[in-house]
Structure 1
């Protein structure tokens, strides 16, 4: 083998090395998105920037403090985030950490949609106010932390129970994350759009507000009229009937799962064929 061939092999190895590192970082970021670990990463970046600035400016005392924080910080991270690390290792052992699991995901989405539709229909007929936000790609961890943590399997009965008037959890939003009721009584950001009708209340403003800052889909039931609304991508769909609600939820939640599942299947098939 000539030197030119060795250079080509080394170059290819470097490219593969970079791509693998990028892939691992990308998957890790996707795994922690919407969790408390995101805030932790921000804190680490701040410490590293301060450490770099102190070294450049010759701030020895500040640099020593930052070095101690870096040295002992990793031990603290392992202790604080021990449950998350354990969960990641369990998924790695099952072969699920670096591959999206689409098995039964579509079925779970269909059950979630049916539960939301059933609960919405029940509450609309009885004019029970409700605010249900479904997380998609953009993490909603910050908003989940403002409410009461539940982490419960989703069901129509649970959603109805939460929004029954004069109960501790009825005031605020329910956030659904990965087909689970993550939290109730959550605070969502209110939209400041001047084009919102003045007859709409706080629930509709909150639903529109969260759709402006995330890609979530939010269902609103008005306690005054019993009408159903849906928000997504900064748009408000008012007076939605049950057929239209089903169509919107299926298009935004189930259809995307089917597309991702098909893409994953094609990728795996090609990988096996080429392998």
Structure 2
């Protein structure tokens, strides 16, 4: 009888230790995802978590060949993600080293909303630039504040009130800032002459530099959309999540922008969904532990 109780306690302790080990790995994975704040990584991280859980189960069940293959897949997937998202992980490590990790998990909302009047001014400027066939590239911040370190070159700070005339003036070919992008946050023009990373997609190489830059920055972060006016044809494009919607009329552009800049409460964000998933997972683990340890459940 004593031997049986000893075996049960040893098994329970071993199971709890392994569960804690697995839970810490999953928690660390979630922390990395929340720190980089990039929707593109969401499904990749979920896939990595599935591989980690499968590898742990394979070891637990002593499936040696399956466990070996899954272990190699986990390592390969982690290395692939570190290469593909090297800038995001570099930022995560910088925040960790500076002790600024916890503030990065808080949802940072825009300091100013993009109003309908601001959208009207942008669309009017784009319409006239398109008619005059003057090339333009505009970055519009969306639901969260962008990290300007995502830009290749931050550009020249302006912090000016948004107006149709200002946008048109910046993109005149006689100005020094016309080759870069204009960064717009709410009803303010934050900076001009911004240089953006170019997309490496094969399809993007058939497009001009402005279109590749718009695709590049929206591939890198989901906190913005980009408006492009072609210098050659005057056609209007809207880039989001690395994809171009083109050609657009000014009325269609306004419709898309109004939809994109709908109240934040109407759109689902990544972090709350992850917190919800994590909370459900943790509650199930706690409930299972209570049953194993025969502890009373809270009512």
TM-score for the superposition, normalised by structure 2: 0.51
1:38-60 CA distance string (max 9 Å, x none): x9996573267xxxxxxxxxxxx
Q: Paired residue for 1:202, among 205, 209, 215?
A: 209
Counterpart of 1:45 in structure 2 is: 96
Counterpart of 2:146 in structure 1 is: 139
Report the Cα distance in structure 2 between the residues aligned to 1:125 and 1:258, rounded to whole angstroms.
36
Look up the SS of the partner of 2:204 in the other structure: coil
Counterpart of 1:127 in structure 2 is: 133
Contact 1:204 1:220 in 2 (8 A): yes
1:167-186 CA distance string (max 9 Å, x none): 11111100112331110000
**Of the two, which has the highest radius of gyration?**
2
Contact 1:144 1:183 in 2 (8 A): no
Unaligned runs of at least 5 residues, structure 1: 1-28, 30-38, 49-97, 261-275
Look up the SS of the partner of 1:226 in the other structure: coil
1:26-82 CA distance string (max 9 Å, x none): xxx9xxxxxxxxx9996573267xxxxxxxxxxxxxxxxxxxxxxxxxxxxxxxxxx
Report the Cα distance in structure 2 between the residues aligned to 1:47 and 1:140, rounded to whole angstroms.
17
Residue-pair matches, total: 170
**1:109 Cα deviation after fit:** 1.6
Report the Cα distance in structure 2 between the residues aligned to 1:179 and 1:41, rounded to whole angstroms.
30
Report the Cα distance in structure 1 between the residues aligned to 2:140 and 2:152, rounded to whole angstroms.
11
Report the Cα distance in structure 1 between the residues aligned to 2:205 and 2:93, rounded to whole angstroms.
38
**1:217 Cα deviation after fit:** 0.8
Contact 1:144 1:182 in 2 (8 A): no
Q: Paired residue for 1:238, among 246, 251, 261?
A: 246
Unaligned runs of at least 5 residues, structure 2: 1-34, 36-89, 100-106, 268-299
Counterpart of 2:221 in structure 1 is: 214
Is 1:175 the counterpart of 2:226? The answer is: no
TM-score for the superposition, normalised by structure 1: 0.55
